[in-house]
Chain A
Amino acid sequence: SYELTQLPSVSVSPGQTASITCSGDKLGDKYACWYQQKPGQSPVLVIYQDNKRPSGIPERFSGSNSGNTATLTISGTQAMDEGDYYCQAWDSSTSVVFGGGTKLTVL
């Protein structure tokens, strides 16, 4: 079955750039998307089709996907960006697959 791997946690200082990675076999051949989830809330889509932002998502969120790794980049990270981030892709063997999630701490 297809798997996506994320680091459990990432820390970043306010105003700096946060990079959250997601690894999977030939992930670059698939579309990846990303969700932000804050405590007690439902997930919110922040990036789809590797690098597109849904309406209402700030420009500081961007994405890329190549080789075996997709990356979510948050430029000028703000305290409000703290939360859990999940990558997701679709694979013919597993259908929908999520990464294990990365907890972003802004300190």
Chain B
Amino acid sequence: EVQLEESGGGLVQPGGSLRLSCAASGFTFSIYWMSWVRQAPGKGLEWVANIKQDGSDRLYVDSVKGRFTISRDNAKNSLFLQMNSLRAEDTAVYYCAREMLAAAGPGFDYWGQGTLVTVSS
């Protein structure tokens, strides 16, 4: 059974840092692109970043470029999101999501339960 379990969320002051983790199991982690998607309270979904299978390619939404870094450890089946210089507008539930294999086109076929990040003084 495919499982994605996020951790590391919490309350942080503006300007602070937080590192999110996502533990993957039940599938061959190293062959999938992986993404972080967030959802601000009462708002829609927003893609944040993704990373290629071997970590050689990373893409970010403009609003987090230079502040967030996505990374992965295929040996430990883990995905990470290092978030620096956090702002109030980064407050959201952050989901770890598996991207479908290329032949299936774009889409996220598995999602974690999400971890809440609150940026407030």
Contact B109 A45 (CB under 8 A): yes
Contact A42 B104 (CB under 8 A): no
Dominant secondary structure of chain A at its interface with chain B: strand
Contact A31 B109 (CB under 8 A): no
- Residue ID in chain A nearest B99 by CB atoms: A96
The answer to whether B89 has its CB under 8 Å from any CB of chain A is no
Contact A33 B47 (CB under 8 A): no
Known: A48-B104, A89-B106. A96 touches B111 (CB 8 A): no
Count of chain B residues with a beta carbon within 8 Å of a chain A beta carbon? 22
Contact A54 B109 (CB under 8 A): yes
- Residue ID in chain B nearest A37 by CB atoms: B45
Chain B residues, Cβ within 8 Å of A42: 95, 111-114
The answer to whether B105 has its CB under 8 Å from any CB of chain A is yes
Contact B44 A100 (CB under 8 A): yes
- Residue ID in chain B nearest A54 by CB atoms: B109
Chain A residues, Cβ within 8 Å of B108: 35, 43, 45, 88
A96 to chain B, nearest CB (A): 4
* B window 90-109: CB within 8 A of A: 95, 100, 104-109
A interface with B by C-beta (< 8 Å): 1, 30-31, 33, 35, 37, 42-45, 48-50, 52, 54, 84, 86, 88-90, 95-101
